[in-house]
Amino acid sequence: MNFVLIGMPGSGKSCMGRALARKLKIKNIDTDRVIEERVGKALQTLIDEVGVDRFRELEEETLLSIEAENSILSTGGSAVYSKRAMEKFHSEATVIYLKCSYRTIEKRIGDFSKRGVVLRPGQTLRDLYDERVPLYEKYAHVTVNCDGEAYSRYIADAVRKIKELM
């Protein structure tokens, strides 16, 4: 069984993916790292060089190419823009939305210009949050509230919800 983590940048997908994989003794695949390995560049560098549209194409190609079994996939925050990838994940895996308030995301991200956040020119972090939340909610089978600073509680909640599904 596969589990796919979705959520805003700063929601904890990469950290949660590693922690859940350790606790559940399954593999963790961080799709942002897969992209970086394939192109040999940091995400933000890639986004700056090729632009948002081309980055999303590369991200979709990567998401659709991943063959995994008994794994946690930690996706980039923009994965939800790929209808094809999200429909694949929704039908073949359990999609877990790591939900955070805008205030929490803003606090965790800080200077998002270095984080590999896919923003169109003139788009604010708030615009991005308001645009993406309905997509995360649409594709999620399970939601884990990751608001605030109670990291161990988020992991315990996610493990409990996953074990209920296994």
pLDDT of residue 113: 66
3-165 CATH: 3.40.50.300
**pTM higher than 0.75 for the full model?**
yes
| pLDDT at residue 149 is higher than 80 | no
Bridge partners, residue 145, by sequence: 99
Percentage, residues of the chain above pLDDT 90:
69
Give the count of alpha carbons within 13 A of 51, CB side only: 3
pLDDT of residue 7: 97
Question: Which residue, among 10, 7, 5, 15, has the nearest Cα to 105 in the 3D structure?
Answer: 10
